[in-house]
Amino acid sequence: MSVLTNNLDLFLRAFAQTLQLFAISAVLSLVLGTFLAALRVSPVPVFRGIGTLYVTVLRNTPLTLVFVFFLFAYPLLEIVKIEPYTAAVVSLSLYTAAFVCEVVRSGINTVPVGQAEASRALGLTFVQMLGNVVLPQALRSVVPPMTSTMIALLKNTTVASGFAVFQAGTIRDSLSEQGENVLLGLLWVAIGFVVLVMPLTYVQQVFEKRWSVAR
Amino acid sequence: MRVRTLAAVLLTGALALTACGKEGSPTEQGAPAGLFEVAKDVKVDGSPTFEKAKTRGSLVVGVKEDQPGLGYKDPTTNKYSGFDIDIARLISAKLGFDPEKIQFKTIQSAAREQALINGDVDYYVGTYTINAGRKEKVGFAGPYFVAGQDLLVKKDNTDITGKDTLKGKKVCSATGSTPVKRIRDENLTEPGNILEFQGYSQCVTKLLDGEVDAVTTDDAILKGYAAAEEGKLKVVGKTFSSEPYGIGVPKEDTALRTKMNDILQASLDDGSWQKIYDGTLGKSGSSAEKPKIDRY
Amino acid sequence: MSMVLFDVPGPKARARHKVMAVIGIAAVLAAVAYVIMRFIATDQFSTRRLDWINYKQIQISLVEAIGNTLSAFAVGAVLALVFGAIFAAARLSDHAWVRAPAAVVVEVFRAIPLVIMMFFFYYGLPVAGVKLSAFTAVVLSLMLYNGSVLAEIFRAGINSLPKGQSEAAYALGMRKTQVMTLVLLPQALRAMMPTIISQLVVLLKDTALGFLITFEELLRWGTRIGGDAVSFGRPMISVMIVVAAIYIGLCLLLTWLANYLEKRNRRNKKVVKLDGDRPNQVQLAESSAVLGSGSTL
């Protein structure tokens, strides 16, 4: 317990950084992922190809490699200098966007074609069809896997530990520097993540249950 | 069918890759010839480590592999080079072992004491700072070099002249290292300006990219990087700590420790220590003071 | 293609799509050209920076690094599958005293980041006098995390089967173990296959986290060679492209291999195909009928 109470300030600051990193990357990856999903369901084959290529490459590349690329390879190209923190946000967003894209795309694909055809037959405009028919149905199958993706993103912020970004994963470094018990410190970090993730998992299960009944 | 085709393609690819491999290194650097004259009929009375090595016919030496100029393993040849390596070679030659008979073994910093206690290595040469805590577990010959915490900056940098000019500058060092702790404890720069990576080479990369202003650790390590980057970097040269590097030996083996101290003293006196320094760390352009052997 | 959002295009829409396609291609080409220009401007593909690929010793160390990545993957995958099977069985148990602790273990290990687990095993445990190699730490973490995820996948797979299946099996006088191994598992496994494969791909990628605890795997090899200033002037870009290509290749190969095995499995055996809405209508299908509907990945 003393490891936590003696370093409460460190733990709070670190977890606040984790949440900040998570929040920024979550927003960026949702925007980019939705855009990519739009590409992947677009009627233009070239756009679909671009979307598919992006998703295939990023989904099969380890996140750690994306980090290494943006911290140690990208600067060699001398384009725009980025801080390690920015590099971490960029890596997390680009990587997570591929997963967001797949969730959104498969969500849209779960809506039966007949639904859209019927609404077109009724004379609904594209926006009306999207807003009143397709998206409300797609959302139900999107929210639970999207919550999983976001939980994964929250946990993935710890990958930044090896790349000079202060967050919950680097609490160990500070503790070992002060000669504190690293074993207990890491246990507290783990508990911290359990506390953060559990409510999200619960919310996800509630949504899943409620909407699977409604269908 | 498709599996077999794929396997065939992979196999041919692998063969093609290995068949046309170059041998040797693009930057071969040998020790000055004749430096490591092998002594004959060496006796170290009462040294179990020496007896063990004699029976084995070779010496096992623990070193580092990731510090250019000090202890560096060339990825193209798997050969070791650097100041620490040459000191290890010198010792082995004067102990009567041919340089061919040394087996270098990479041991990470954290595992050094255990490797000596377990007898995995006969002795250890790798930026191993002598201090009281370590003396309780292992013995130290030397010091063969006295390093001190220093700063590595770009060649054209004139702002940073010592530890008191770091305020407002970005400083990089290895995670959890003593140097980074000192920067923090003495409040030499703002906490937000301290960057920590796994290794010093990553910090040096960031320094070259211009994302940090200085890299800090022992000057010996920094000189190695300065030498490797050929004129792009310089070591500031105002050390603000003292890190005597010793040769780690098993604690109870006083006979070996005494013999090594004799060897080091002789090399300091006859100029071969200086030659080793000039051939490795000296290439960074800075000179070094000879250490005083501490026979405790 | 998905036809949910768009109607079959008419002549005007087709023309519009052509224009958009041209713009799209132009945008992509411009981006690629810019990146290549940066590569050339900063001399990423100079002879010195590509020279590393020619050295025999480097090729050998690359093969060794891939070997380390693959052995961590293989050991981790086997352990995770076993761990997952045990805990899934425990969570499906009829006894609450088995179910509850298993649920806690699975939920907790799914919530802790892999990096923290690896740090715990590699940096934390030595405090208590337990020393693990980087390899062991990586494999154990992979087992605990992916094993927990797989446990949930297995459980969901079994639970998704129609109740009538187990009821019928019990009615035939089968015991619990028989119901599970003879009736439920074979059906569930087939349905879960794609999810299991994608989890294994995740496991393969996660071996790269070993980089953070100095495990000598492919990515660490890449940073060592790519960061080498002495011999090659830091060929990080070219090395990372190669390393990424290897990872992507391995992951795609794994996906392809699993799909291939699944297809062959289907061809060899008489397959029970389930229709979720009408569980009583079990259909026996010969290979030819099912092959066409195989996964497209």
Which residues in chain A come in under a pLDDT of 50? Answer: 215
Judge: A77–C39 Cβ closer than 8 Å, yes or no. yes
Measured CA to CA, the distance from residue B235 to residue B222 in angstroms comes to: 7
For domain B48-147+244-284, say whether CATH 3.40.50.2300 is its number: no
CB contact under 8 A, C119 and A161: yes
Model ipTM value: 0.90
Q: Is the dihedral of CA B252, B254, B260, B264 positive or negative?
A: positive
Residue that wins the pLDDT comparison between B214 and B133: B214
Classified by CATH at the fold level, domain C55-269 comes out as MetI-like fold (1.10.3720)
* Residues in chain C within 8 Å Cβ distance of A60: 201, 205, 247-248, 251-252
Window from B33-37, C107-111, C214-218 with minimum mean pLDDT:
B33-37
- Kindly provide the residue ranges of all beta strands, DSSP E only, lying in chain B, ordered along the sequence: 59-63, 66-67, 71-73, 80-81, 102-106, 123-124, 138-147, 149-154, 171-174, 194-197, 214-218, 233-235, 243-250
Give which of B194, B209, B212 to mutate to test A binding, by max A Cβ within 10 Å. B209
- Maximal CA-CA distance, chain C: 76
**pLDDT for A9-46, tens place per residue?**
999 999 999 999 999 999 999 999 999 998 988 888 89
* The two domains B48-147+244-284 and B149-235 share their CATH topology (first three levels equal): yes
Rounded to a whole number, what is the distance in Å from the CA of B197 to chain A's nearest CA?
Answer: 6
pLDDT at C147 over 90: yes
**The one-letter amino acid at C17:** H
Residues in chain C with CB shorter than 8 Å from the CB of A77 are 35, 38-39, 42, 44, 237
Among B17, B27, B108, whose Cβ lies nearest the Cβ of C231?
A: B27
Q: Is the pLDDT of residue C290 over 50?
A: no
pLDDT at B24 exceeding the cut of 70: no
Nearest to C51 among B17, B26, B77 (CB): B26
Cβ within 8 Å of residue C175, ≥6 positions away: none
Q: Render pLDDT for B135-177 as a digit per residue (tens, 0 to 9).
A: 888 899 979 999 889 999 999 888 888 888 888 899 998 887 7
List the domain boundaries for chain B: 48-147+244-284, 149-235
Percent of chain B surpassing pLDDT 90: 13
CATH code for residues B149-235: 3.40.190.10
Q: Please name the helix (run of DSSP H) or strand (run of DSSP E) that holds residue C70, with its range, or none.
A: helix C56-91
Which pTM was predicted? 0.85
Backbone angles phi, psi at B121, to 5 degrees: -130, 155
Q: Does B132 contact chain C (CB < 8 Å)? A: no
| Domains by residue range for chain A, with CATH | 2-210 (1.10.3720.10)
Question: Residue range C163-187: average pLDDT?
Answer: 89
| C239-278 per-position pLDDT tens digit | 999 999 999 999 999 989 888 877 776 665 554 444 443 3
Q: How confident is the prediction for chain B on average, in pLDDT?
A: 83
**Candidates B176, B198, B210; nearest CB to A81:** B210
Which is more confidently placed, B218 or C283? Answer: B218
Q: What residues does each domain of chain C span?
A: 55-269
Question: Which of B95, B87, B120 minimizes the C-alpha distance to B105?
Answer: B120
Q: What does the pLDDT read at residue C113? A: 95
Inter-axis angle of helices C56-91 and C236-268, nearest 10: 50
